[in-house]
Structure 1
Amino acid sequence: MMPASSSVFDSDLIIMHTPIALSRRLPDMTASAFLVIAFLSGIAGALQLPTLSLFLSTDVQARPFMVGLFYTGSAVIGIAVSQFLAGRSDKKGDRKMLIFQCCALGAAGCVLFAFNRNYFVLLIFGVLLTSFGSTANPQLFALAREHADHSGRESVMFSSVMRAQVSLAWVIGPPLAFALALGFGFKAMYMMAAATFVVCGGLVWMLLPTMRKSLLTTEAVMEAPRRNRRDTLLLFSACTLMWTCNCMYLINMPLYLIHELGLPEKMAGIMMGTAAGLEIPTMLIAGYISKQYGNRLLMRIAVAAGLLFYLGLILFTDATALLLLQLLNAVFIGILAGIGMIYFQDLMPGQAGAATTLFTNTGRVGWIFAGSLAGLISEIWQLHGVFYVALLMIAGAGYCMWRIRDVDSPLPRDTHTSPLPGTPGNGNVSP
């Protein structure tokens, strides 16, 4: 649903107890640290996002239009924060420290959501703090890509494995979020998210590598966007439309299930968790076959899955059918989240932070459109009306994807081929 990288050596080295294996334990721990932190950062997000519309409508007493406006405002602030940090992180400073600081600010934002119920205070100050927290994730993937390139290892599969950790977090996070919110209140849920950010920040401080920028890297960045500017713009448009559909679904789906279909409140968490669980094998398979079939073909498959998914949401209202549709949703979002980020990085070589943040901002722009549209449609029509709009947007994304040239071949990766610990062959995980 929401709903990345590479590094070390073969899995059999991890379980060996020879002096050679022990001497290489540090790189293994670095790769493991990336995976654990990706999982925890995913948990922190998955505890907040699924219940946000319910939190705003019940505890904050916001009207549907104001709920949508909150998402739009959140996205605008998030884009401003992430773009500022992306440019800074690619040119100078230590990305590790930036991730640590983002985790600390994210924890502060969760504490504010736990104890404050003023709509505008949450929109201005709470969203600003949590935007820094959410930016820790793309910066983590950028650092992982740099670490993989620096160590001369295959980055695509490791990115996919990292992204799978985020999806695993979304298997656990939404049901846990609804259980905490409905059983103990939103205060307990947000404090749990704050604690997760604190643990995540501690692991970043202790375990992640420090990789400072050089002037050579900064100069190389300037040539990259000019190679594939048209295709990058088309990819940005396609991903933005696809994320807009997903964001409208996330905003309206809990309220749609409860108010229009009369299903139990926990059903929303189950559906999100089911989709996230199915995304994991989707991402791993997509990462494994990306070199054989190319990123463009996989993204077209994602568009086709999205078309079928939103058509199914219009046609079916039975709980079992909605759960079965999550397989299509998993293919749609699993490929988009995993391959989409790698596609941007390949189109913008030498700009790991900018490319990753540009991809992340397609999601944030999606939230801008989704917040306005979902709130407006719910106010003047019905909650399920967003699915009709989503169907049209997916068609637009398909048009953009079909116009992108085949640039998979001419763009060499700055990596070598070496499998990750515990992963099949080559691949990539993505956020």
Structure 2
Amino acid sequence: MHWLITQGRHLNSVLLAFMAVAFMLGVAGALQAPTLSLFLSKEVGVTSFWVGLFYTVNAVAGIAVSMILAKRSDRTGDRRKLIIFCCLMAVANSLVFAFNRHYLTLITLGVFLAALANTTMPQIFALAREYADNSAREVVMFSSIMRAQLSLAWVIGPPLSFMLALKFGFTTMFLSAAGIFVVGALLVTFCLPSVPRVFGPENQAVAAVSGWKKPNVRRLFIASMLMWTCNTMYIIDMPLWITSVLGLPEALAGALMGTAAGLEIPAMILAGMVVKRIGKRRMMVLAVAAGVVFYGGLLLFPTRNALIVLQLFNAIFIGIVAGIGMLWFQDLMPGKAGSATTLFTNSISTGVILAGVLQGSLAQQFGHGSVYWGILVLSILALGLTCRVKDV
């Protein structure tokens, strides 16, 4: 609160606008994502294979489209216009899913519109970074508070999604998401600032060099991909593991996810407060180390109380990686905020693709316990790679 007061009235209004946009669009996304597999299996009537194929195609298309738009956004134009366009594509996507039940249409037109829509959030964070840099504000705290809005959205969105879908139907749920995206587009249009970007000779030279050609960026991308692979494998498998293997109640899965999501918010805010003294690299190493402790703890202490306590390490891991990780990408790719932010989000998408393949294969061939040994190994690899990334 002290930080908000000391930044001045103008920053407060802009920060509130960014927070509102991130929260509203986060809720809209959290309405659709949790029930998507249920929608495809129950409403569209496809088997598990086609559900999995949809997720894979959706993730691949999202990576390709977001990278193309990110490169364009870093070179020319007002970033707000691209954000508004992506919000409108999100509205169109929600309408397609609300009134269409044909798999081929959803996996083609629906996936294409979703790929455009998913570019919205990286561009909002890129605009926030540019605004903070342009106005000489505290970048890390600014971004951490915004990122906390997404965690809050994911505390609220999934229960609301299931309530709307199961009580009122999927059409109502998707129409509700469309309405929230419309509100988000209006907030972007009338409340977010337009940040002029001036490229001098030095910036032009930097922008001409692909971030992927830098060893540190490559290492961070692979490390981040492995981190999100671990997180997604855990989310996919945990409800099945605690019921079929540990014999614990199904409700515990929701309690564990809710506990972690709630703890992520203070973890993000605290990280934003201390990162200036500790540094992004040390913070990220600490976060991934907490992830290793978490996943190792799942194997060593598979009891109800221990699983709840371990969520503290899960929250430190995800809370810091989700906020500081994005900023570290931006620091390693100066002058390319859009491409850097999109590279971070694409590491998440790639991790999701890899997680689905690994979790299904390991669980089917060797049982659910093997999934957590696999996660532990991947988290240790991610820690080693993170330690090798050097600050600019």
The TM-score, its normalising length taken from structure 2, stands at 0.89
Q: Deviations over 1:141-167 (max 9, x none)?
A: 100111111112121110111111111
Structure with more helix by fraction = 2
Contact 1:303 1:394 in 2 (8 A): yes
- Report the counterpart of residue 218 of structure 2 in structure 1: 233
2:382 is the counterpart of 1:397: yes
- Report the counterpart of residue 347 of structure 1 in structure 2: 332
Deviates more, 1:80-89 or 1:346-355: 346-355
- Report the counterpart of residue 248 of structure 1 in structure 2: 233
- The code of the aligned residue for 1:310 comes to Y
Contact 1:177 1:189 in 2 (8 A): yes
- The code of the aligned residue for 1:141 comes to F
Contact 2:5 2:12 in 1 (8 A): no
Taking the aligned partners of 1:337 and 1:185, their CA distance within structure 2 comes to 32
Q: Deviations over 1:325-367 (max 9, x none)?
A: 3222111110110110111111111211111111111111112
- Report the counterpart of residue 207 of structure 2 in structure 1: 222
- The code of the aligned residue for 1:166 comes to L
User: Which structure would you say has the larger RCO, counting Cα contacts within 8 Å and 6 or more residues apart?
Assistant: 1
- Report the counterpart of residue 161 of structure 2 in structure 1: 177
5+ long unaligned stretches in structure 1:
1-8, 15-23, 412-431
Contact 1:51 1:178 in 2 (8 A): yes
- The code of the aligned residue for 1:125 comes to L
Contact 2:98 2:171 in 1 (8 A): yes
2:34 is the counterpart of 1:50: yes
- Once the two structures are TM-superposed, the CA of residue 75 in structure 1 deviates from its matched residue by 1.2
Taking the aligned partners of 1:333 and 1:69, their CA distance within structure 2 comes to 27
- Report the counterpart of residue 270 of structure 2 in structure 1: 285
Taking the aligned partners of 2:266 and 2:27, their CA distance within structure 1 comes to 19
Taking the aligned partners of 2:243 and 2:163, their CA distance within structure 1 comes to 16
- The code of the aligned residue for 1:242 comes to M
- Once the two structures are TM-superposed, the CA of residue 236 in structure 1 deviates from its matched residue by 0.9
Taking the aligned partners of 1:51 and 1:315, their CA distance within structure 2 comes to 32
Q: How does 1:180-219 map to 2 (within 5 A)?
A: 180-216=164-200, 219=204
**CA 1:326–1:57: 2 relative to 1, 3 Å:** farther
**Would you say how many aligned residue pairs link Structure 1 and Structure 2?**
390
Q: Deviations over 1:353-402 (max 9, x none)?
A: 11111111111111221232234445555456433322221111012112
- The code of the aligned residue for 1:282 comes to A
2:346 is the counterpart of 1:356: no
- Once the two structures are TM-superposed, the CA of residue 316 in structure 1 deviates from its matched residue by 5.4
- Report the counterpart of residue 72 of structure 2 in structure 1: 88
2:123 is the counterpart of 1:139: yes
- The code of the aligned residue for 2:292 comes to L
Contact 1:70 1:371 in 2 (8 A): no
- Once the two structures are TM-superposed, the CA of residue 10 in structure 1 deviates from its matched residue by 5.8
- The code of the aligned residue for 2:225 comes to T
Secondary structure, in 3 states, of the residue corresponding to 2:77? coil
Taking the aligned partners of 2:25 and 2:357, their CA distance within structure 1 comes to 27
Q: Deviations over 1:144-200 (max 9, x none)?
A: 111111112121110111111111111212222233333333333322222221111
**CA 1:376–1:114: 2 relative to 1, 3 Å:** farther
Contact 1:43 1:173 in 2 (8 A): yes
User: In percent, how many aligned pairs have the same letter?
Assistant: 52
Contact 2:284 2:324 in 1 (8 A): yes
Contact 1:170 1:277 in 2 (8 A): no
Q: Give the RMSD, CA atoms, in angstroms.
A: 2.8
Taking the aligned partners of 1:147 and 1:244, their CA distance within structure 2 comes to 31
- The code of the aligned residue for 2:106 comes to L
- Report the counterpart of residue 21 of structure 2 in structure 1: 37
Contact 2:212 2:218 in 1 (8 A): no
Deviates more, 1:36-45 or 1:216-225: 216-225
Contact 1:142 1:356 in 2 (8 A): yes
- Report the counterpart of residue 322 of structure 1 in structure 2: 307
- The code of the aligned residue for 2:63 comes to I
5+ long unaligned stretches in structure 2:
none
Deviates more, 1:147-156 or 1:332-341: 147-156
**CA 1:268–1:96: 2 relative to 1, 3 Å:** farther
- Once the two structures are TM-superposed, the CA of residue 285 in structure 1 deviates from its matched residue by 1.2
- The code of the aligned residue for 1:395 comes to I
Contact 1:92 1:212 in 2 (8 A): no
Contact 1:103 1:198 in 2 (8 A): yes
- Once the two structures are TM-superposed, the CA of residue 66 in structure 1 deviates from its matched residue by 3.6
Taking the aligned partners of 1:261 and 1:73, their CA distance within structure 2 comes to 33
- Report the counterpart of residue 426 of structure 1 in structure 2: none
**CA 1:82–1:232: 2 relative to 1, 3 Å:** same
One of 310, 316, 319 as aligned partner of 2:295: 310
